[in-house]
């Protein structure tokens, strides 16, 4: 059993660097959704409470996984375990990462920190890659991607899709 090959941050912003507005992602970009789904298949996902709340609000059946073929861990100091069936709840990011490694290794899964802003900042010590997509347009967001974290990474490649630019970064070796 080896450590996960990819331990990544995955995010999408608008052309102004926005991540979200009013607790939701204010655009619908099928290319980004497909890319997110493809990249995170068979992975462990770590997210903050607000991101969990958004994803969970789209679920009708609380017993179904939050996202198919993926295991979810939500980091929060205030959430109650009762009634939480589609994610594991952990109160700090270090223990969340430990659980993610424990779950990922026997399965050969990767690990992704999927947001929001606070989690992206805190994830830097753990990750080896950043997958950062840019969608067309500006959506007057109230939460922006913390671009300063990219100082810790080297740009690897970017490619254009019709309505999306995908960029990948690799952690600098220090």
Contact residues for ligand NAP, defined by CB under 6 A: 11-12, 19-20, 23-25, 47-51, 54, 75-79, 91-93, 114-119, 122, 143
Identity of the residue, 68 or 78, whose beta carbon is nearer to ligand NAP in the bound complex: 78
Q: How far is the CB of 21 from ligand NAP (least distance, A)?
A: 6
Q: How far is the CB of 77 from ligand NAP (least distance, A)?
A: 3
**For residues 158 and 166, is the Cβ–Cβ distance under 8 A?**
yes
Identity of the residue, 34 or 107, whose beta carbon is nearer to ligand NAP in the bound complex: 34
Backbone angles phi, psi at 77, to 5 degrees: -100, -10
Give the tokens for residue 60. Answer: 């009708």
Per the omega criterion (within 30 degrees of 0), is the bond before 161 cis?
A: no
Identity of the residue, 108 or 131, whose beta carbon is nearer to ligand NAP in the bound complex: 131
Identity of the residue, 7 or 75, whose beta carbon is nearer to ligand NAP in the bound complex: 75
**For residues 72 and 112, is the Cβ–Cβ distance under 8 A?**
no
Of the candidates 131, 157, 152, 143, which has an alpha carbon nearest to the alpha carbon of residue 10?
Answer: 131
Q: How far is the CB of 93 from ligand NAP (least distance, A)?
A: 4
């Amino acid at each position: 059993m080896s450590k996960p090959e990819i331990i990544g941050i995955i995010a999408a912003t608008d052309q102004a660097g926005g991540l979200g507005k009013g607790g939701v992602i204010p655009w619908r970009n099928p290319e980004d959704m497909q890319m997110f789904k493809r990249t995170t298949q068979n992975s462990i996902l770590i997210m903050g409470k607000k991101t969990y709340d958004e994803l969970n609000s789209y679920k009708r059946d609380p017993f179904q996984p939050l996202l198919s073929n993926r295991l979810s861990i939500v980091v929060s100091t205030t959430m109650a375990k009762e009634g939480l069936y589609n994610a594991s709840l952990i109160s700090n990011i270090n223990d969340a990462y430990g659980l993610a490694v424990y779950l990922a290794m026997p399965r050969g899964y990767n690990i992704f920190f999927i947001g929001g802003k606070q989690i992206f900042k805190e994830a830097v010590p753990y990750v080896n890659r950043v997958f950062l997509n840019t969608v067309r347009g500006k959506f007057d967001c109230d939460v922006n991607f913390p671009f300063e974290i990219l100082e810790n990474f080297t740009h690897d490649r970017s490619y254009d899709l019709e309505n999306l630019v995908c960029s990948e970064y690799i952690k600098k070796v220090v």
